[in-house]
């Protein structure tokens, strides 16, 4: 096992690992690509809207929460598939729960944007 890194070296490698994770999720998951495209469309809109800074932050947070949740869901799915590709009740539940988390984050976007813009 390699020695633990600290300081800027740890930060440097953490950044590389994070980039690899985003790249892997983007290349392997259609849902991640769709959410990134939606964010690319909605992020500029957030800055064009005439809303308070607090509202702007809430709109931004709601978008990023969807992507964060999707990345975590993708990690659960990849790990589950590594453990077993066979149908297993617990793996199915884990994947369903991850999917439910993404769904709830999407509802959060709709509610947040709806309350602020309507």
Task: Note if 35 is an active site residue.
Answer: no
Catalytic residue, chosen from 29, 70, 77, 89, is 70
Question: Environment class of residue 105 by beta-carbon count within 10 Å: exposed (0-12), middle (13-18) or buried (19+)?
Answer: buried
Question: Environment class of residue 39 by beta-carbon count within 10 Å: exposed (0-12), middle (13-18) or buried (19+)?
Answer: middle
Query: Known catalytic residues?
Result: 70
């Amino acid at each position: 096992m390699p020695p633990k890194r600290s300081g800027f070296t740890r930060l440097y490698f953490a950044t590389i690992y994070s980039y690899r994770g985003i790249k892997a999720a983007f290349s392997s998951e259609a849902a991640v690509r769709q959410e990134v495209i939606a964010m690319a469309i909605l992020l500029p809109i957030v800055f064009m809207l005439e809303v308070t800074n607090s509202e702007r932050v809430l709109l931004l947070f709601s978008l990023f929460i969807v992507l964060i949740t999707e990345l975590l869901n993708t990690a659960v799915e990849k790990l589950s598939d590594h453990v077993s590709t066979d149908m297993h009740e617990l793996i199915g539940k884990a994947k369903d729960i991850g999917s439910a988390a993404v769904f709830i984050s999407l509802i959060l976007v709709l509610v947040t944007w709806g309350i602020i813009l309507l």
